[in-house]
Amino acid sequence: GQQLNQSPQSMFIQEGEDVSMNCTSSSIFNTWLWYKQDPGEGPVLLIALYKAGELTSNGRLTAQFGITRKDSFLNISASIPSDVGIYFCAGQASNTGNQFYFGTGTSLTVIP
Amino acid sequence: DTGVSQDPRHKITKRGQNVTFRCDPISEHNRLYWYRQTLGQGPEFLTYFQNEAQLEKSRLLSDRFSAERPKGSFSTLEIQRTEQGDSAMYLCASSFREGWGEQYFGPGTRLTVT
């Protein structure tokens, strides 16, 4: 299947700092989704991106659909303790049966 | 709108037993998906339904796995003759008919095979 490389694998930051993470694929994707998952729970959708170059915000979160259509970025500004969790990117390419492929996640720890 | 629900939340079973999980999607969503997630990994696609039709299945879905959505509403995922390698979180998601985007996940069913 498709390989989505998500980086960094983990981050330890101070409360109030900004966070950046990214996801790259070996294929061109038509859609990118970003999720946050807490332990023992299902992923919660944060942002959906549908067009190359698209920049979309959801509160303190901003995500971008890369121009090459092979990458996406998520930024979190002014982090707070409740931002702790695992962030997953998911991408969909129309030439792979339309299913979504998920990255391996970025674990975020916010130190108060 | 109560979101996607899954039942049970946790299941412990002995190897060789059959298990069945249920998913109730968001009511106006007619696409339903099953994923499997193991520790430290992202969800992996298993199968999806549009209404009652199962339109796509992953190669991960062995012959021991079967999914149904008989009336186009709730869905069940059955695993026969469970193996220890089946231990994972089984996630269900649903979305609107138009496109695959914006899938909303349920809380998952954690399966432990002993």
Instruction: Write the pLDDT tens digit of every residue in B37-57.
Output: 999 899 999 999 989 999 888
Interface contact flag, B103 A100, Cβ < 8 Å: yes
Contact A42 B56 (CB under 8 A): no
CB-CB neighbors (< 8 A) of A90 in chain B: 42-43
pLDDT values of chain A reduced to their tens digit, one per residue, 112 residues: 567 899 999 999 999 999 999 999 988 898 999 999 999 899 999 999 999 999 999 999 999 999 999 999 999 999 999 999 999 999 987 665 667 889 999 999 999 9
Which DSSP helix (H) or strand (E) runs through A73? Answer: strand A71-76
How much is the average pLDDT of B26-33?
A: 90
Q: Is residue B42 within 8 angstroms of chain A, CB to CB?
A: yes
The answer to whether B25 and B77 are in contact (CB under 8 A) is no
Contact A87, A106 (CB under 8 A): yes
Q: Quote the Cα angle for A91-A97-A101, to 5°.
A: 25
B106/A100 Cβ within 8 A = no
Whether residue B5 has pLDDT greater than 70: yes
Contacts of A4 in chain B (CB under 8 A): 42
Shortest CA distance to B106 belongs to which of B1, B3, B2?
Answer: B3
Please report the DSSP string for B4-57 in residue order.
-EEE-SEEEE-TT--EEEEEE--TT--EEEEEEE-TTS--EEEEEEETTEEEEE
> B48 in contact with A at a CB cutoff of 8 Å?
yes
**B105 vs A45: CB contact, 8 Å cut-off?**
yes
Nearest one of A50, A61, A63 to A92, comparing CA atoms: A50
Cβ pair B99, B29 in contact under 8 A: no
Whether B36 and B65 have beta carbons less than 8 Å apart is answered as no
What's the rounded Cα separation, in Å, for the pair B11 and A76?
Answer: 35
* pLDDT at B59 (0 to 100): 85
B107: which strand partners?
A: none
pLDDT digits (tens, 9 = 90+) for A41-73: 999 999 999 999 999 999 999 999 999 999 999
Query: How far is residue A10's CA from residue A22's CA, in Å, rounded to a whole number?
Result: 12
Structure tokens belonging to residue B27 = 């009511």
